[in-house]
Amino acid sequence: SAVISQKPSRDICQRGTSLTIQCQVDSQVTMMFWYRQQPGQSLTLIATANQGSEATYESGFVIDKFPISRPNLTFSTLTVSNMSPEDSSIYLCSVERGVKTEAFFGQGTRLTVV
């Protein structure tokens, strides 16, 4: 199993500012995933982050808006840039699963943009 520490757990931010979310894993993993969960919705994958290469973004998400860093095999950050109220969501990091195991999630970051 993997233990994932994500911070901050919540924040209230002014529109136009940026917030960086950190995700720390207690073991080395090749791939980390960032999801967004808008109010009342399910999880939508933003991007996949591999160590040593640029993140791969899903349709509808771009690097300028959601830059991701992956400096080593246990850490990643997601920045939500130039925020607007539409960015108010829960952001979750997750790590790749092994064979026959579930995906593990961080505790989530509840972001409110005012």
Cis, bond preceding 8 (omega within 30 deg of 0) = yes
- Is 60 among the residues that bind other proteins (CB under 8 A)? no
Phi, psi of 86 (to 5 degrees): -65, -15
Task: Return the H-helix or E-strand segment holding 46.
Answer: strand 44-50
Pick the stretch among 12-20, 60-68, 77-85, 96-104 that binds other proteins (CB under 8 A): 96-104
Pick the stretch among 14-22, 64-72, 77-85, 106-114 that binds other proteins (CB under 8 A): 106-114
In 3D space, the residue among 114, 90, 39 whose CA is nearest the CA of residue 78 turns out to be 90
For 35, 69, 71, 110, the CA distances from 13, given in Å and listed in that order, are 19, 21, 26, 11
Minimum Å gap between C-beta 24 and other proteins is 15
For 61, 83, 99, the CA distances from 80, given in Å and listed in that order, are 11, 6, 32
Q: Name which position in 74, 76, 89, 94 contacts other proteins (CB under 8 A).
A: 94
Minimum Å gap between C-beta 88 and other proteins is 13
Q: Build a one-symbol-per-residue string for 20-49: x at contacts with other proteins by CB under 8 A, - elsewhere.
A: ----------xx-x-x-----xxxxx--x-
> Where on the chain is the footprint of other proteins (CB under 8 A)?
30-31, 33, 35, 41-45, 48, 90, 92, 94, 96-97, 99-103, 105-108, 110
